[in-house]
Chain A
Amino acid sequence: MKTEPLARHLTIKRYHPEKSPAYYESNHSLKFNDEKPTVLQALIAIYENIDSTLAFSYNCRYKKCGLCAVEVDGHPSLACITFLREHQTIGPLSNLPLHKDLVINRSLLEALLMRERIFMTKGLAQESEHPLNHPFPQFRLHPDLETLLSCIECLCCQASCPVLSAGKNTPYAGPFVFVKLAQLHLDPRDSLDRASQAVQLGIKACSGCRQCVCPQGIDIYSQAILPLSGKA
């Protein structure tokens, strides 16, 4: 049953702050026993056996954690569930500060969410002593909210946003931040004016091109941008 190992050639876009501020590429040829190896499998194989300095992130290996997102031939993808084809190029997510190689620095976005108070400041439970048993008729889980809550924070949407890529000086937080704002906007427990916040964070600059990539299938334009703009 065992067939010949499968050969794959790939290129990795590298960035190494200790060595040089410029990007460089490394080329690798790998052999797999699997018929359909994943991009993550290739990265692990390179780290283990070829170049132990390769930096990349992963955690769960099956689309739960959102840590392994990279660009495969320029398309933001989760390395764990993307099958590797011949002669592909793997690079870091665009539009985000880079730490090293394929690892992006998430801390600036986190700091923005914290600074702008993009989280539940007042929750359901504070309003009643026994909230779990008490009915909350106003609490309706909006179907769009259910979808928005499936966000695994992989940041593929930021990487694929042409407005962020264009890099104009206007303040524009990007689709990920609008997803986070929309989660709160659609939640009846939230008490802040998230629509106004969205305006301050540049939502009007969204061109509506719908090119934002979401591995979880969130339709970011319809489910986040439009509701926040009062158009849903």
Chain B
Amino acid sequence: MEASKTFDVICLGGGGAGILAAVRAAELGKKVALVSKEPAGYGNTRLAVGMMACPGIMPEDSVTDFVDNLSQSGAGLSEPDLAAIIGRQSREAIICMEKYGMTLYRDKEGKLGESVVFTAGGHNRPRTVRNAGGGAALGAVLRTALWRYKITVLHETAALELLQDKGAICGVLCLDLKTGEMELLQAPAVIIATGGCGAIYYPHTSNSNGAVGDGLALALQAGAVLWDMEQVQAIPFGVTHPESMLGALLGESSTAGPAGRLLNGKGEVVLDKDIHKMTRAALVKTMMLEIISGNATDQGGLLLDLAPNLTLPQGDKLYRAIEASGIFQAARYAYGEKAYRWEEPWSVLPTMHYLMGGIQVNSRGETKVPGLFAAGEAQAGIHGGNRLGSVALSEIFTFGRLAGETAAAYSSEAGKTLDLSATETCRTWQKVLASDGEHSPQHLKKQLQACMWKNCGPVRQEKQLLGALRELEEIETKSQSLSINQERTLNRQLLDAAELHLMLPVSRSIILSSLERQESRGAHLRLDYPDKNDRDFLQHTAVSREADGNLKSGLQPVNA
């Protein structure tokens, strides 16, 4: 292992939140490193459609109006302080992105006027703008933002564990996937911006395959609290085949248009109108109940027939409007041109899309652990039980910058880097990654993902959740005996092994939180507790690690 490298601030995650956090800290004069499993500018940010809410941009809109809208949609779990921050600061964050080269669609006069500002899903008025080129263009711009400052980018590098001295953060142990070598990075401040955990359900996810929630596991291990981990939002329409495209995003409720119909495997109509007005959660529940009752198609999903929309007087216009959002491109690749033109029905299945829960932070992006910060999808408390459309990008830009600022200030106060003794941690990980045991990490990872989808997916009940805990224990035991090929350069098995170990506590957190919340709220749908219960559960679920290493779940008040 190489000697450790020293920084003021380390950002984990190479998407929008991580990069803007790194850039902000560097702007404030700090020596910054960015660690990313992929090249910088990838992650889920790159898969974004490119829509971002910008409160107050239209004269009739106001920050208060937006914050009310956001809080109401959050099913009571949205933290008012955090909602207010995104309301006040997302405008500045978007300006900042424009400065780095993001190209927003503007009207003929070059303004963000009526013709280019629209109402995204769940919003009470138009306030959403869009960038040309979507996520890939954002990724490219974000990467160039890193070049403006002397930020050390460790790409193709996975963070394995946070290192602490008397509880305070002092560094990160990483695995360089390019060489298979472990690397020690030293810093008093670490920002977790590793995104959500849709890939815990892979392939049933619209997320990038790396979004396994590894940063959440690091935070949990270090003593941070995870809030509302049961709040993983499924989006109603994902691809069912070919196998390698399973889970790819096809659309949300509004994509169905006013006349779209949903049919089951027997050709019977499940829903014949107003699908576009349903919440994501209500539609997902209807679809999953139909599938569970044995009425799925041979492909394991349902059929979404959009053709009736084309016969409406406004049919063409409607098609063009929804097509322009770029949301259902995957229909073309998976099902062909006719399906893309709505002339043939789509085979659809809900797919895991966004984690509303995550690491608990205060309004400065600080966790309970000294020196540990979180931003973006990895952080909890903004959206509560449901996320409004187009707020995710605004969120990662806003809170990325905020965490960068706080971490920079903290690193100045923290002064000299604490003593780093990582020998024990390194040895443990070396053992995990060099093991010549029985089980392939890629197969155990798949088993875990299948177990989570089946037992703790879009709809849940106690019996299945308890079954999932038992299977998780079995996988945990097997994960102590991995068989990994001996190559070092770009060895996928090394990454799978590391991810597996980090996915286990995250999966357990999702299951424990799902058991804890004995009601249905937001994206969390319990078939055995179908109603919302404000008396007992208008609170965050909270998972933390006990002294003996076990995870414990409980409830914590909102707006404490």
Contact = CB atoms under 8 A, between A and B. Distances in A.
A133 B104 CA distance: 12
A81 B110 CA distance: 36
Contact of A125 (B95, B144, B210): B95
Contact of A131 (B95, B105, B490): B95
Interface string B226-266: 00000000000001011111011100000000000000000
Contacts of B42: 59, 65, 67
A125 B96 contact: yes
Given A119-B147, A139-B110, A152-B136, A65 B99 contact: no
B136 A59 contact: no
Interface in A111-160: 113-114, 119-120, 123-126, 131-141, 145-146, 149-153
A65 B248 CA distance: 13
A100 B179 CA distance: 11
Interface in A1-42: 1-2, 16-18, 32-34, 36-38, 40-41
A59 to B, nearest CB: 5
Contacts, number: 179
Contact of B99 (A2, A60, A66, A125): A125
Interface size grouping (class) on chain B: 35 or more
Contact of B244 (A38, A53, A103, A125): A38
Interface string B418-448: 0000000000000000000000101100100
A61 interface: yes
Interface in B89-129: 91, 94-96, 98-101, 103, 105-106, 109-112
Given A65-B47, A151-B133, A119 B144 contact: yes
A120 B106 contact: no
Given A55-B489, A62-B329, A149 B208 contact: no
B470 interface: no
Given A67-B42, A103-B490, A132 B94 contact: yes
B111 A133 contact: yes
A120 B142 CA distance: 11
Contact of B38 (A59, A113, A149, A151): A59
A61 to B, nearest CB: 6
Nearest to A127: B99
Contact of B492 (A55, A126, A189): A55
Given A61-B209, A62-B239, A99-B489, 17 more contacts: A18-B488, A40-B244, A41-B242, A52-B493, A59-B210, A61-B247, A62-B329, A62-B334, A64-B135, A80-B333, A99-B178, A114-B144, A123-B99, A137-B110, A150-B137, A151-B133, A187-B101
13 contacts: A18-B487, A18-B488, A47-B442, A61-B247, A62-B239, A64-B47, A66-B136, A80-B244, A107-B155, A120-B144, A131-B98, A151-B137, A152-B136
Interface of A: 1-2, 16-18, 32-34, 36-38, 40-41, 44, 47-48, 52-55, 58-67, 80-81, 83, 99-101, 103, 106-107, 110, 113-114, 119-120, 123-126, 131-141, 145-146, 149-153, 187, 189
Which are the 6 A-B pairs with shortest beta-carbon distances? A120-B101, A149-B133, A119-B144, A136-B110, A123-B99, A41-B244
